[in-house]
Structure 1
Amino acid sequence: SHRVFISNLQKEIEKQTGYRSSRKRRSEAQYDYEVYHSLEEIQSWMFEMNQTHPDLVDMFSVGKSYEGRPLYVLQVGEKKKAVWIDCGVHAREWIGPAFCQWFVKEVVLFNNAQIKILRHWVFFTVTVSLFVLQDRFWRKTRSKNHKFHCRGVDANRNWKCSLFPSPDEGASSHPCDDTYCGPYPESEPEVKAVAKFLRKHKKRIKAYISIHAYAQMLLYPYSYKYRSRPCAFTLQESAAQNAVTALYSAYGVRYRYGPASTTLYVSSGSSIDWAYRNGIPYAFAFELRDTGYFGFLLPESLINPTCTETMRAVKAIASGLLKKCETDRDRFPYI
């Protein structure tokens, strides 16, 4: 038996890609946060946020991609303690970069009670890191493998944690597979650049949040094995429960939460495992809407509700972390 979810896939792709000639570059006040933007549009927006809000937003590059594009980061806020958020690690997950833009917009432009809690932190936000437009369903980086004539490495299997991935540990050793782990840890300049920055600032970074899609889940370590809970398991579980409860309060959308290996599937070389192993106990990966009907082609009409509810979840994580910092004076149960 089968069921057709989308009867004309090409038409749905064209709605979100290069068939938007009427959509021109606009000022910050007119910027549309409820559509998917190209890399050029996103980077122009980043520059503009930096220029119009220099007291709150700083912009810098942590390195370059394989194809030579700068890996820009927005630093929002000036506090000592920090939270890292990355979006767009997998190129086809367009709702990720849309959320990072939404997040920055909310923190910078609004000053209501719901947002004030976020101003206790500095947020390092990678609004987009890969974002390839040639193939709407491209997942990996763009590095070349001349032996197999295949491009790319899964940037979420290339982190240096646990044993380096092998096919039976939630990653592939074949360069043509979507979950190819790469020839060695941090082989990809994108991963290496971010890892270097996080290592340099790990004493001040108290949380790591990676935005993905899709599945409607909130995941935390470990990703790479079923057995053994991390020492901070209770801390992570409580924070995740509060976050999904806050998310549910917006539109009644249910998210599952738990260790990535048992809640989703086993994967090795993941960024949340690396972050936890490197002393960041609050390490989470969101899998945003939906559960498979639209999949990676989440309609632009769902950007607003998806980002609105996810903001509540991130706020809950930041709020809980702030209380934990105040109570424990930054002493966390590291492994």
Structure 2
Amino acid sequence: MGEITNWMDQIVKENPNVVTKVDYGKTYENRTISLLKIGSKSASAKKAIWMDCGIHAREWISPAFCQYFINQTYKTDPKMEQMMKNMDFYVTPVLNVDGYIYSWTDNSTRLWRKNRTPGPEGCECLGTDLNRNFDINWGTLGISFNCCSIVYPGKSAVSEAEAQAITDFVGNRTDEILCFLTIHSYGQMLLIPYGHPNVIAPNENELVHKHKKTTCNTDLCLAMKKVHGKQYTVGTSPDILYSFSGSSKDWARLQGIPFAFTFELRDDGTYGFELPEDQIQPASEEAYSGALHIITHVHDKEFIKPTSTAATVAAMLWTTMMAVFVTSTVIV
């Protein structure tokens, strides 16, 4: 973790005109939660993209991708340069700092998932699953109130410092943030809201037909596949993974952020969370292509009027996929 912190400081030192380091929380073990704010300086208010990595400690490819993504913002890509004039990027390389550091202790801790807060009174186990701790149908699905479980959601909604840090920072900028991306592994999936099976999209049948356990041929999946041939699937968690509540992605969508995705990076289960070192670069490259595809669409929808039939059709497709989800208890 010290290497990542030093790297962040070096990025700021080398690029003071476009990069700022922002400390926005403290962990249970009193470590600082930091992000890099990247974008051209502007006197006027700008829109923004949120990205966080390392919410689950054992998913080491996630922080590696955030570093890769930040490094790519300095390439001479004209589109990225244009987008940085209109939008800022808030990127947290490691959200679950305590858990991430603990997972590096030795082989016995390598697959640690949660943070490191003490359990409730009488429980000898540590840690809360941060991606079950957000205030969206908290504690209802895909969780266990056994404090030793890897999906223990905490003592209450937003009981954890890391979830509170995102809730405060993002929650105060919901009019500013256009897109919320949270990076996980593994499974080669992109999850859209919601994790609750009773929160359905108007086009649920179409989404299930196109995406559930089948080949995904949308532009988004193809953008990722063309890089190294890896197949990704897009859909809601209940359709292509499992149902669960309290995720940061679902919370972000409930706040009114129009685009919210969870990336599940490589692999397909061969190596799982212990992705070989020689796959870090290609995994990051294909994920970057997918993220850039999403971000470009979000940017162009906000700042560029579609002028062609093709652009109109593309916009309609995205609007349909990300249509408002409605239930009797949740209205977005």
Tell me the TM-score normalized by structure 1. Answer: 0.81
Which residue is equivalent to 1:280? Answer: 257
Which residue is equivalent to 2:313? Answer: none
Whether 2:252 is the aligned partner of 1:252: answer: no
**Which 4+ stretches in 1 moved above 4 angstroms?**
230-235, 331-334
Whether 2:284 is the aligned partner of 1:307: answer: yes
1:48 Cα offset (Å): 0.7
Whether 2:293 is the aligned partner of 1:316: answer: yes
**Structure 1 residues 190, 232: closer, same or farther in 2, change over 3 A?**
farther
Whether 2:48 is the aligned partner of 1:82: answer: yes
Alignment check: 8 A CA contact 1:117 1:319 kept: no
Which residue is equivalent to 2:241? Answer: 264
Alignment check: 8 A CA contact 1:117 1:315 kept: no
Whether 2:166 is the aligned partner of 1:178: answer: no
Alignment check: 8 A CA contact 1:224 1:269 kept: no
1:305 Cα offset (Å): 0.6
Which residue is equivalent to 2:309? Answer: none
Q: CA RMSD in A?
A: 2.6
Q: Name the CA distance, whole Å, in 1 between partners of 2:220 and 2:200.
A: 24
Structure 1 residues 5-57: Cα deviation after superposition (integer angstroms, max 9, x where no partner):
xxxxxxxxxxxxxxxxxxxxxxxxxxxxxxxxxx0000000011111101111
**Equivalent residue for 2:190, pick from 210, 218, 221:** 218
Percent identity over the alignment is 35
Which residue is equivalent to 2:160? Answer: 188
Gaps of 5+ in 2: 212-216, 307-318, 325-331
1:114 Cα offset (Å): 6.0
Alignment check: 8 A CA contact 2:202 2:323 kept: no
Structure 1 residues 80-134: Cα deviation after superposition (integer angstroms, max 9, x where no partner):
11010000000000000000000001102x1134643542421100001221322
**Equivalent residue for 2:200, pick from 213, 222, 228:** 228
Match of 1:151, SS state, is coil
1:328 Cα offset (Å): 7.8
Aligned residues: 291
Which residue is equivalent to 2:12? Answer: 50
Gaps of 5+ in 1: 1-38
Whether 2:108 is the aligned partner of 1:142: answer: no
**Equivalent residue for 2:134, pick from 154, 159, 175:** 159
Alignment check: 8 A CA contact 2:83 2:299 kept: no
Which residue is equivalent to 1:91? Answer: 57
Q: Name the CA distance, whole Å, in 2 between partners of 1:95 and 1:292.
A: 14
Task: For 1:140, give the aligned amino acid.
Answer: K
**Structure 1 residues 95, 117: closer, same or farther in 2, change over 3 A?**
farther
Tell me the TM-score normalized by structure 2. Answer: 0.82
Q: Name the CA distance, whole Å, in 2 between partners of 1:140 and 1:58.
A: 28
**Equivalent residue for 2:171, pick from 199, 218, 233:** 199
Which residue is equivalent to 1:111? Answer: 76
Q: Name the CA distance, whole Å, in 1 between partners of 2:47 and 2:238.
A: 29
Match of 1:43, SS state, is helix
Alignment check: 8 A CA contact 1:118 1:315 kept: no
Q: Name the CA distance, whole Å, in 1 between partners of 2:7 and 2:281.
A: 18
Structure 1 residues 212-248: Cα deviation after superposition (integer angstroms, max 9, x where no partner):
000000111011225522799999x99x933221111
Match of 1:201, SS state, is coil
**Equivalent residue for 1:59, pick from 2, 21, 25:** 21
Q: Name the CA distance, whole Å, in 1 between partners of 2:50 and 2:20.
A: 14
